[in-house]
Amino acid sequence: MPAKILDGRVLAKELKEQLRQEVVGLKEKTGAVPRMINVMIGETHGACAYANSQKRIAEQIGICYELANLAQDISQEDLIAYVRKLNDDESVNGIMIHKPIPGHIDYRKVANCLDVAKDVEGINATNVGKMLLGETEMIPCTPAAVMEHIKSTGMDVRGKEVVIVGASEIVGKPLSLLFLRQMATVSVCHIATSEAGRLDEHLARADILVVAVGKAELIKGDKIKDGAIVVDVGINQLGDKMVGDVCFKSASQKASYITPVPGGVGPVTVVMLMRNGIEAYKMQKGIKS
Ligand code: NDP
């Protein structure tokens, strides 16, 4: 039987409505709404498209969203000084550092200057560490979106074999911690797994397979376990088409659930960013979740 589609647009709509209602409640309680600033250095077409979608979704939820456009050649010191000013500004509740950033900027240094309480992407080293300990609500947005998709299937993750292909700091690694927290058995595969010729054996036992590699249709359906839940994080341009890291056509014949690309993880990711903005606001105002 073909897989059920995990439609990110439908899920995002439901989550947005929940957040919208929460913001209405916060406005009644505090007289204000969360305010988030996206710091963009220079301008690239892709980055702008993503920022536009953040802005649209923030507006739908009722969050105040602003884009701070800084010059492409801003120095590291000036950028850090700018971020510190936002840290000190009590009217700002959430700060994002928009990627890509120019090569002369040390991303980690900037990330570590962010006020931990305003770091809505969960990139400051303190929040990364707190995530390991389960002590922060600032979960990186894409891993959080993957978990929302899994939750929507109703599957109990406890004791399941989860295989994550891709071990990046923004997706694979934090995601492995989220699954571990839910008592799954987690394997994280990367380039060395493939080079050792061992990727297929991991794929074959995955009850849940998440792929975040950035290589068009790397994973074909014949490698996937029957009935697996497949979440495809990848975004790749193949000719004039956008495709994921999983071959959707063949994988949807084997999986029980599958996310499409586009329209799977992406739409939910932006909503997770807004959820973090709301959590940051509540923390700063001393409002319990
Ligand atoms: P990175 O390039 O940072 O990481 C890719 C990971 O895949 C690395 O761990 C790399 O291993 C591994 N890898 C590369 N080739 C192979 C292979 N043949 N077999 C196994 N592992 C391999 O990418 P990101 O995590 O930033 O992004 C991954 C994809 O997800 C991209 O397409 C990106 O556009 C998309 N994305 C989508 C988001 C969304 O919200 N929908 C958000 C973020 C990303 P190694 O480092 O060892 O080489």
Q: What is the pLDDT of residues 206-243, one digit of tens each?
A: 999 999 999 999 999 999 999 999 999 999 999 999 99
Ligand 1 atom closest to Cα of residue 269: 40
| Of 146, 233, 268, best ligand 1 pocket probe by most atoms within 8 Å of the beta carbon | 233
237 CA to middle of ligand 1, Å?
14
Ligand 1 atom closest to Cα of residue 214: 32
d(CA 166, CA 161): 16
266 CA to middle of ligand 1, Å?
14
Cis peptide bond N-terminal to 100, omega within 30: yes
Ligand 1 atom closest to Cα of residue 170: 25
The CB density around residue 214, as the number of other CB atoms within 10 Å, is 15
pTM: 0.97
d(CA 147, CA 167): 16
d(CA 45, CA 5): 29
Say if residues 109 and 84 touch (Cβ distance below 8 Å). no
Per-residue pLDDT of 60-110, as tens digits, reads 999 999 999 999 999 999 999 999 999 999 999 999 999 999 999 999 999
Q: What is the mean pLDDT of residues 44-60?
A: 88
Q: What is the mean pLDDT of residues 21-47?
A: 92
What integer pLDDT is reported at residue 28 of this predicted model? Answer: 98
231 CA to middle of ligand 1, Å?
13
268 CA to middle of ligand 1, Å?
18
